[in-house]
Amino acid sequence: MCLAVPGKIISINGEDSLMRTGKVSFGGIIKEVCMAYVPDAKVDDYVIVHIGFAISILDPQEAQYTIDAWRLLNAEYSTAEQYEQ
């Protein structure tokens, strides 16, 4: 199973579109990401990231919906985990 995660671009480095990288925030966790597949992406855009590559630009509302869903799943998992102990 593959997992692609939305994140917010906080900085972009490099001029060459094939060598561009960016720092992307995933709920406060910052990762360096290859930006070659999203040459139109800019700071404050949301992107879908898979194995270290930004693969598409995401609409801000859709990004927030997905982030909220992940938070809800995490909260449910954490609650269920407490009852198992």
Can you give the pLDDT at residue 8? 97
Gap between the Cα atoms of 69 and 17, Å rounded: 32
pLDDT given for residue 49 in this prediction: 95
Given a cut of 90, whether residue 73 has pLDDT beyond it is no
Mean pLDDT rounded to a whole number for the chain: 89
Per the listing, tokens 């360096």 go with 32
- CATH level 2 (architecture), domain 5-84: Roll (2.30)
As a dihedral over the C-alpha atoms of residue 72, residue 52, residue 7, residue 4, rounded to 10 degrees, the angle is: -40
- Please state, for a pLDDT cut of 70, what percent of the chain lies above it: 91
39-69, pLDDT tens digit by residue? 999 999 999 999 999 999 999 999 989 888 8
In this predicted model, what pLDDT tens digit does every residue of 12-48 receive, in sequence order?
999 888 899 999 999 899 999 999 999 999 999 999 9
